[in-house]
Structure 1
Amino acid sequence: MLFSEELKKDSQPIINDIYNDPFIQDMLHGELPKAATKFYLRADASYLKEFANIYALIIPKLSSLDDVKFLVEQIQFIVGGEVEAHEILADYVGEPYEEIVQEKVWPPSGDHYIKHMYFNAFAKENAAFTIAAMAPCPYVYQVIAKQALKDDALNQQSGLKKWFEFYSTEMDELVEVFDELMNKLTEHCTEDEKQEIKECFLQSTVHERNFFAMSYNEEAWSFGGDAHE
């Protein structure tokens, strides 16, 4: 089994949990709370900006010009293409996307996720660690979207169906390239190193689950403590 396939297999239980959590289930039924949708859009706008920056940190670690070219294109996609998915959610909310994201949010779970990616980009020489930290993002969206479109519970009349349609195809090429890079970059790794890289991938998959949950719950920092907590 290829290492990329092993990662996907081991992450499946977490992805099943994400799919069955309230955020995706409410999307599936076309009844995601508008407040949670806006919170997600604000948090994801911050996340994607950092995701693009982390691509730039991987580029010097890659030797293939084709790989570099693809990652540069991905930066452009994040800046422009993925906004299409955000516009779908903004239409569902009934407010302009640019107005929604003018209000910034930086919740604890999003902060932890972003710093996890930056840590692996800066602390690990092998780009496999950074890719392992980044790859669950497109993979989780791809799997969830494809599953949703086959689900009898999907609300066919809801505008949110377009969100699933977008991610069911738009992530395919990126997932494939990340798989190829992961297999290539771990070719000469020891079993201990591979285990560390796998844990990095699984941690990011858990971060993906937490990201949806924090949006649904409108997670906030609790500075100063709370006597009731």
Structure 2
Amino acid sequence: MSFMNEVLEKNIPIWDECITTPFVQEMKAGTLPFECFKEYMIQDSIYLKHYARVYGKEIYHAKTLRDIQLYYSVLSFVTDTESAVRLRYLEQFDMTDDDIESIAPLPENQRYIDFLLETAERGDEKEMLMAVLPCMMSYSYIFRRLAEDPKSKESRYWDFIEDYADERYAESCREWSRFTDGKCETLSDTEKEKLSHIFKKASLLELDFWKMPYRR
């Protein structure tokens, strides 16, 4: 089993717990209060700005053109594709990205942002990868699971679910898994364990993010 397959296998239980949170279940059912979704979308917009900064740091530290192109592809996805989804909803809230700039992160979001930026500050390419990948990969896993239920298509949030359940998005996640395996294949068991711990920490922070709207 590859290193990344082992890491993913260890973190699936955390992602399954994400699926059981009231927020995700109500989003699938279409019963999630719009104000609750609004708070999530605002906080996610704040988070994505810093998430993109980490990929910018990855580009800075990349040693090959191929790596730069890969990191830039995700950066473009975050700033263009994901932003388009967010902006559609922000428009419904009569908000823009400029409005988001004046809103403070909630504590759970701030802890996640701090973790990402502290990891990026160390400048280790593989550590940064392990910090950012759980966001992308868990979303693919979670939303594909939601989309398996035919009733999810009746949810008022189906367009949001559908975007992350997309097969192209899943293939991109698989590509990143293979890329990360290549980066880590010569590492010692101790180094791999450290990276695995970073991935798990990020997955737990993802879980806290899904719980966040119900902790207010």
Residues 2 and 179 (structure 1), Cα distance of their counterparts in 2 relative to 1, 3 Å cut: same
> What CA deviation, in whole Å up to 9, does each residue of 1:15-65 have, x standing for no partner?
110000111001011011222211111111111111111101112332231
CA contact (8 A) 1:89 1:160 kept: no
CA contact (8 A) 1:18 1:24 kept: yes
CA contact (8 A) 1:133 1:204 kept: yes
- The 2-side partners of 1:121 and 1:77 are apart by 19
- The 2-side partners of 1:24 and 1:97 are apart by 23
User: Counterpart in 2 of 1:111?
Assistant: 110
The size of the alignment, in residue pairs, is 214
Q: How does 1:1-229 map to 2 (within 5 A)?
A: 1-87=1-87, 89-90=89-90, 94-98=92-96, 101=100, 104-123=103-122, 125=124, 127-152=125-150, 154-169=151-166, 171-218=169-216
- The 1-side partners of 2:201 and 2:51 are apart by 16
Residues 88 and 173 (structure 1), Cα distance of their counterparts in 2 relative to 1, 3 Å cut: farther
Shift of 1:149: 0.9
Residues 143 and 97 (structure 1), Cα distance of their counterparts in 2 relative to 1, 3 Å cut: farther
Larger mean Cα displacement after TM superposition, 105-114 or 176-185: 176-185
- The 2-side partners of 1:200 and 1:167 are apart by 23
- The 1-side partners of 2:58 and 2:175 are apart by 14
CA contact (8 A) 1:23 1:213 kept: yes
Matched AA of 2:142: I
- The 1-side partners of 2:89 and 2:12 are apart by 26
Structure 2: runs of 5 or more not aligned: none
Bigger Rg, which one: 1
Structure 1: runs of 5 or more not aligned: 219-229
4+ runs of 1 displaced by more than 4 Å? 87-91
- The 2-side partners of 1:172 and 1:156 are apart by 19
SS in 1 for 2:103: coil
Matched AA of 1:182: T
CA RMSD of aligned residues (A): 2.1
User: Counterpart in 2 of 1:225?
Assistant: none
